[in-house]
Amino acid sequence: MSVFLGGPALLWTALLLLLYPDGMSADTREPTVSLNPPWTPILKEDNVTLTCKENNSLELNSTVWYHNKTKLGVTTLTLDIVKAQTKNSGEYRCRNKGSILSKPVSLKVFSEWLLIQASTEMVLEGESFLIRCHSWRNLNVKRVTYYRNGKFLRFWYDNYNITINNATETDSGTYYCTGWISKQNHTSNFLNIVVRKDSPPEHQSKYHWLQFVIPSLVVLLFAVDTGLFISTQQQLTLLLKIKTTRRSRNLMDPRPKPDAKKN
């Protein structure tokens, strides 16, 4: 019996290993890339630390970082960008040991005097966020004016951030700021802020289908395996039967029967 089980069982294991290359565990843990400080976009020469966040594991030196699909040499949970340059722009993704690849986080590095920044570009209704008018190398900025959708929003002689608590859809819009850096009036970039009622559907994992596909495949494999086993057993029984019939027939009738040739 064990000999006949061997073939299909091996096949089964091999196919399972193909499905779960990370040692038989159906892992769909997805880390996220977060920025600290959270500002996006950033200016040239700013510093930012990217963290591959995953709550349960603190696997050291086993993180893989990708920048624009190029694998980086860094293996720590954090990736430091010191004195950012334009080439540091692009998409960042990470993966921890046994986890799937994170969603991309886009980092934009601008070469400007003034930059309007938000703590997040995607806000949910009721959440709070910060907006700041950031200068290159944190140079002193005076007489700072904030605008939303082209309309005056706030003015300060010194440079302060705007805190928006309990965001509503009316806080959505295009923001920018103007300010004076050593006797020069500068205008920042434009930044779109979207305040949403619900989290967008893309927040759901792209890999949700795997939760259904993998068990189905296991069931299918089991069925195939059982099928193979049964058919092997049937064929064998058939073969044995034929042999016995043939032998008994041969004993009675020296002429071979045509139907015995079918197998």
Ligand X SMILES: *[C@@H]1O[C@H](CO)[C@@H](O)[C@H](O)[C@H]1NC(C)=O
**Interacting span for ligand X (CB under 6 A) from 9-17, 160-168, 195-203, 247-255:** 160-168
Q: Least distance (Å) from ligand X to the CB of residue 179?
A: 8
Q: Least distance (Å) from ligand X to the CB of residue 21?
A: 20
**Interacting span for ligand X (CB under 6 A) from 18-26, 87-95, 210-218, 229-237:** 87-95
The nearer residue to ligand X, 32 or 231, going by C-beta atoms, is 32
The nearer residue to ligand X, 90 or 98, going by C-beta atoms, is 90
Q: Which residues pair with 106 in a beta bridge?
A: 91
178, 188, 191, 193: residue in contact with ligand X (rule CB under 6 A) = 178
Contact status: 89 vs ligand X (CB under 6 A): yes
* Pattern 215-254, ligand X, x by CB under 6 A: ----------------------------------------
Contact status: 166 vs ligand X (CB under 6 A): yes
- Using CB under 6 A as the binding rule, the residues of this chain from 126 to 145 that contact ligand X are 126, 132, 137-138
51, 187, 189, 205: residue in contact with ligand X (rule CB under 6 A) = 187
**SS3 assignment, position 124:** strand
Q: Least distance (Å) from ligand X to the CB of residue 104?
A: 11
185, 199, 231, 245: residue in contact with ligand X (rule CB under 6 A) = 185
Torsion angle in degrees (nearest 10) through CA of 237, 239, 244, 249:
140
Q: How many helices (H) and strands (E) does the chain have?
A: 2, 18
78, 120, 161, 189: residue in contact with ligand X (rule CB under 6 A) = 161
155-188: b (≥16 Cβ within 10 Å) or e: ebeebeebebeebeeebbbebbbbbbeeeeebeb
Contact yes or no for 42/108 (Cβ under 8 A): yes
Contact status: 98 vs ligand X (CB under 6 A): no
Q: Choose among 236, 235, 243: nearest CA to 260.
A: 243
Sequence-ordered strand ranges (E) for the chain: 32-36, 42-43, 48-53, 64-67, 70-71, 78-81, 90-95, 105-107, 109-110, 114-118, 122-124, 129-135, 142-148, 151-156, 162-164, 173-181, 184-187, 191-196
**CA neighbours closer than 13 Å in the CB half-sphere of residue 45:** 10
Contact yes or no for 161/146 (Cβ under 8 A): no
Contact status: 171 vs ligand X (CB under 6 A): no
Contact status: 68 vs ligand X (CB under 6 A): yes
| 221: number of Cβ within 10 Å | 17
Q: Least distance (Å) from ligand X to the CB of residue 29?
A: 6
Positions in the binding site for ligand X (CB under 6 A): 37, 45-47, 55-56, 60-61, 68, 82-83, 87, 89-90, 126, 132, 137-138, 160-161, 166, 178, 185, 187
